[in-house]
Amino acid sequence: DAMVIQNPRYQVTQFGKPVTLSCSQTLNHNVMYWYQQKSSQAPKLLFHYYDKDFNNEADTPDNFQSRRPNTSFCFLDIRSPGLGDAAMYLCATSSSFTDTQYFGPGTRLTVL
């Protein structure tokens, strides 16, 4: 029944060691989003794809990249994780920009 799936649920990496987080969806939605959420805060949008069109938020660090090889999958690459990148990373999808966003369970990233 899972509609937005994120893997892994927990990821531990070392300072500076690249890491990739995965998101997949069974909803066939056009839009996929990546959010970062730190403790006790609201989700913060990093970037989104509408189909293959990529949109980066102005304040998203260059350290964060994303790939969307097909409709179902989207990846978040953190090239050189710093201690400040430890957070919950949330993937969401929506049919269009004006429709409901549905979130995955998140990946909790720990940076040692």
What residue ranges bind other proteins (CB under 8 A)? 4, 6, 40-43, 45, 48, 55, 90, 97-98, 100-106, 108
Q: Which is nearer to other proteins, 39 or 70 (CB)?
A: 39
Least Å distance, CB 2 to other proteins, is 11
DSSP 37-98: E-TTS--EEEEEEETTEEEE-TTS-TTEEEE-SSSSEEEEEESS--GGG-EEEEEEEESSTT
Q: Which is nearer to other proteins, 4 or 109 (CB)?
A: 4
